[in-house]
Every structure is written in C-alpha cells, then in structure tokens.
Chain A
Amino acid sequence: MLALQINDLRKVYRGGTEALKGVDLHVQAGDFFALLGPNGAGKSTTIGIISSLINKTSGSVKVFGDDLDKDLVRAKSHIGLVPQEFNFNQFETLMQIVVNQAGYYGVPRTLAKQRAEKYLKQLDLWDKRNAPARELSGGMKRRLMIARALMHEPKMLILDEPTAGVDIEIRRSMWVFLKKINQQGITIILTTHYLEEAEMLCRNIAIIDKGQIIENTSMKGLLSKLNVETFVLDLPPNSIQPTLQDFDFRQIDDHSLEVDVPKSSGLNAVFSQLSDQGVQVLSMRNKSNRLEELFVRLVENGRTDNASAEQENNLE
C-alpha cells in the first residue's frame, strides 16, 4: 500500500518562480522517509501541496489512495502536519491549541482532552499545558506542533525540518520519539538539511534540488552510491576492450572507459590491470556527478549550520 503517491507535480508561484518541475514520489505505508535538499529546493512547497496549504499548478497527489482532487476530506484526515514555521496562535494555551486542532478533525471534546493529556505528556509539555504558547522555548514550540499534529491520530506524519533550531539533546529525544511512533505503524516523512539526521532515522530517501527529484533510493543505496567515485579514462582510438576485475566499468566508445571506484580502494589497481592488458591511458577526469556535488553542498551547509548552532548555545 502506498501512503503517498505524487505524480508529475508542478508548482509555479504567482510572480513566476517555478518551485516544482515535475516531482514524482512514492512512499510506502509504514516507511520512515526523508526528503533531503538544500535551501529553496522545493521541500516545503511539496509538503504544502500535500497538506492543502498551497495550490498545485498541475499533477496529482494521493494519500493512502485518496486523491486530493476527489477525496479531499479523507485525504486530509490521514495526514498530520508539523510545518517548518510556527503557526499557532501565540496567545492560546497549549491545551486550547491541541484540543481545538482535534475538533477541526471531528474529534469530540472529551476524547480530545484525553488525547491532549497523552500527547502533551509524551512530548514533555504537560507542565506547560495552561501557559500561552508564546511563553514556550523554541524547542518546546516544535514539540507542541508535533503533539498538535498527532491529535487526530493520523496514519501519516509529515514534518518539515522538525529539528531546526533545536539543541542536540532535544533533537536526540525527538528522534527517539519519532522512531517509536513509526514502529507503532505511523508513516513518517520528514524534510531535513542534515544527511546525518536522515541516516539516523530513515529507511528511504529522496533528494530534491531546484524543484526536481534527483535521487530516490534506500538509505543504504544512497550511502553506497556516495562512496563511489566515477572516472572517465581517455584511451587511444581503436584500443582493445580492456576488462577490470573488482570494478564496475562501462566502455562508452572505442576511446573512453568509465570506471566506478570505491573511495576506499584507490586507483592503483585500475592502472595496474590496464597496463597488464597493454592499454594506455592518455588522460583521466572525474565524471561530474550531480548527487556528489549536491551532497558536498549539503554537508558544507550542515557544517556551517551546526557551527552557528553551537555558537548560539555558547551564548546562552
């Protein structure tokens, strides 16, 4: 069963920004799925469309088989959303916020109050239940939004950068909590800038950049892909076709060869095998790899984000 099925999703904002250029995404029920991408990639736009906050330009979205265009009420009921930006009324108390949210999904008030106790306790907010939301710290506000999203007990929880601006200790405890509810059967989709976070939590991952999905694979598959570098070797015209043991390689034409080299094993073995076969290598270059480039960018962003987060912590 597919929890989420997105086909050829496009979004052009008023003003002309083309935020999504034909996104396809499939997420299995029960999955823990990461949508990873740099700033402005289109993560929030995708999530906004799934959760009816943004109108799509074209394409289709199905949530547990219910099409947003045909079965909107059912589709919405399956989803719990934790948005990127705080979007509760700062003057309402935590209790009011979560109980009212349940009411909007048709949960009767007495039941809503029981659930409020359950989820506010689980997210360590029960002591603050009668405080207005503006009195919470940033990390507490994030957890409040998670509690709010669970009030109607959705089948799928979507979190848009849930751990942004949250210190490492609370981030870890949020990870534990999310893993636990995923094990209880809730499908989870989260967006993040941090590969580390995706690695810790997710089974499958899609990478989005400039409004396009450039990779959609299992977490394991991604990590092994990232561990391999591809080189293009230029050979003299009309060389014999060499073979290479222990390496994946492709003969592109009669004078170029592509070889995938795991970062751990190095290039020497490639060259020695080639010279044994009498194949001369004229030159060699790195094959440009969008995933690789993006990954480097993400890691660099991650580093600067973490560095500034640490600085902030030091200030406190």
Chain B
Amino acid sequence: MNSLQLTALRTIWIKECTRFLRIWIQTLVPPAITMSLYFVIFGNLIGSRIGQMGGFSYMEFIVPGLIMMAVITSAYANVSSSFFSAKFQRNVEELLVAPVSNWIIILGYVGGGVTRGLLVGALVTMVSLFFVDLQIHNPLMLLLTLVLTATLFAAAGLVNAVFAKTFDDISMIPTFVLTPLTYLGGVFYSLALLPEFWQWVSKANPIVYMVNGFRYGFLGVSDVGIGTSVAVLIGFNVLLFGLAWNLINRGVGIRS
C-alpha cells in the first residue's frame, strides 16, 4: 500500500472517530447506561435467585455476552449511520472524486466502527468491574473474537448503509434481525438449558459462536467448539467484506 492510500486511510479513520466523539452523548453513554441496568437487574437482583449457570455465578456468566452485545450494536450503528449520512448529505462524493481505493474506503469506515465498538466494550467492561471480579482465562481468544466480531458487524453496517434509501432502512436490520439474534444468541442463558431441538436451531445463529468464543476467553467454558467459533467468525468476515467490496466497487447506491 502506498503512502497516498495510507494517508487517505488515516484521514477517513480520524474523520470517523471525530464524528462519534463529537456526539459522544449519543454514541458512548447510552450503551454504558443500558448495560449498567442489565448488570443491576439481571445480574444482581434476578441473578442471585437463578444461582449457577455453566458453573459460574449468573453475573459472571452474562457479563461477556453483554460486553459483546454492546460491541456489536456500536460497531454496526457507527458505520451504518455514518455512511448513510454521507450518502444522504452527498459528502461521500468527497471520497468518490479522490484517488482513494475502494478497499481504503471500506477499511476506513470499518476502522471507525471497530474503534467505537472497542471503546464502548472497554467502557462496559469497566462498569462491569463494579459488579463482578472478571477473570481472564485465555486473552488471545478473547481479543480474537472481540476484534473479529467488531470488524464483522462494522462491515455489515456498511452493507446496510449501501442499500439504505431512508433513515428507517438503517434501523430495520438492528431491530428486526440483530436484536433478536443477540437475545437468542446465548447472552443470557447456556444453550444446555434448551430442549435438544432448540439447541440445534440455535446453532444456526452466528451470534451464538461469537458470544461463546468471547465467554470462553473470560471463563474457559463454551457451548460450542472454540475452533468452530473462530471459523464462523472468519467465514462471515470474508463474506461481508466481499459483499461490501462488491457493492462499493459497482457503485451501488452511490454512483448513477
């Protein structure tokens, strides 16, 4: 990669970070508050009655999933709203006229989404430390699943924004697809609690693999194989980055 493209990448990334930091009350604070509520209500109040889950206190069990949920939502929302608004205000044209390669555009936007995702993840983790003593079983697995999940959903947000024609279109997927999949993705329960049929159905939900891979990094337990988790993450990353590249390259939604 030559210096022109590197400078361009850095510029897009800085612009993306400046954007979400400027509106931090909308981008960083809400997930921290929501997750604190989850910790208090599910972890403390209800969790104390649930007892153990997967060999750990309920609080310990849900913390990794909740961090992951915040990362997913933030990475996705950052890219989908930023890129859609760039389309809407037409400032995406600033990039289209410039000699920036399409890969750099994608990496720049995804980089912004990942940064916000990780920042929110760190905030939620800090909040969780008020409620639970976090142990780290496997830092490598923890980081790997965290980063791959963030890149995956940032790329997905970009694809969403490319197709979106109105602001409603960028809240549809989070509401009707992401939220249900996350809630059913083993954040709050171990798959072992489900009847065999529903366990089997759940294994078609990619978020199950991310939450469990991440939880394995903290606790060392998982409902699914760790290798499978990593493979699913890599597979979906390849799929979404490929799709994003194909769409941007063809100019879908951005070039007439």
Q: Is A53 an interface residue, CB under 8 A from the partner?
A: yes
A88 CA / B14 CA spacing, docked (Å)? 17
Is A52's beta carbon under 8 Å from chain B?
yes
Please, how many angstroms separate the alpha-carbon atoms of A115 and B89 in the complex?
25
B interface residue count range (under 10 / 10 to 19 / 20 to 34 / 35 or more): 20 to 34
A104 engages B86 (CB within 8 Å) = no
Interface residues on A, range: 35 or more
Beta-carbon contacts under 8 Å, B168-206 to A: none
Q: Is the CB of B256 within 8 A of A96?
A: no
Residues B18 and A96 in contact, CB atoms below 8 Å apart: yes
The reply to whether A55 and B256 contact each other, CB–CB distance below 8 Å, is yes
Task: Assess whether B89 is in contact with A100, with CB atoms less than 8 Å apart.
Answer: no
Interface string of B27-59 (1 = CB under 8 A from A): 000000000000000000000000000000000
Contact of B91 among A73, A79, A87 (CB under 8 A): A87
Which of B8, B99, B251 is most buried by chain A, counting CB atoms within 10 A of its CB? B99
| Cβ-neighbour of A104 out of B3, B11, B22, B251 (below 8 A) | B11
Which B residues lie within 8 Å of A74 (CB)?
Answer: 99
* Residues of A with C-beta under 8 A to B85: 89
The residue on B at minimum CB distance from A80 is B97
Q: Is B95 an interface residue (CB 8 A)?
A: yes
Contacts of B101 in A (CB 8 A): 73
Contact A76 B98 (CB under 8 A): yes
| Contact of A53 (CB < 8 Å), options: B8, B91, B96 | B96
Give the contact stretch, choosing among A20-28, A105-113, A186-194.
A105-113
Query: A54-B256, A106-B7 are known contacts. Are A89 and B97 too (CB-CB below 8 A)?
Result: no
**What are the residues of chain B within 8 A of A106 when measuring CB–CB?**
3-5, 7-8, 99
Taking the complex as formed, is B133 at the interface, i.e. its CB lies under 8 A from any CB of chain A? no
Measured between beta carbons, the chain B residues less than 8 angstroms from A87 are 89-91, 93-94
Complex Cα spacing A152 to B22, Å = 27
> Bound state CA distance, A27 and B100, in angstroms?
26
27 contacts between A and B (CB under 8 A): A48-B256, A51-B97, A52-B97, A53-B255, A53-B256, A54-B256, A55-B256, A73-B101, A76-B98, A79-B97, A81-B97, A87-B91, A87-B93, A88-B94, A89-B85, A89-B89, A89-B91, A92-B15, A96-B18, A97-B94, A100-B15, A101-B94, A103-B11, A103-B12, A104-B11, A104-B100, A105-B4
Interface residues, chain A, CB within 8 Å of chain B? 13-14, 48, 51-55, 72-74, 76-77, 79, 81, 83, 85-92, 96-97, 100-101, 103-109, 148, 152
Residues of B with Cβ closer than 8 Å to A?
A: 3-5, 7-8, 10-12, 14-15, 18, 22, 85-86, 89-91, 93-101, 251, 255-256
Given A101-B98, A104-B12, A106-B5, list of 4 further CB < 8 A pairs?
A13-B256, A54-B255, A88-B91, A152-B98
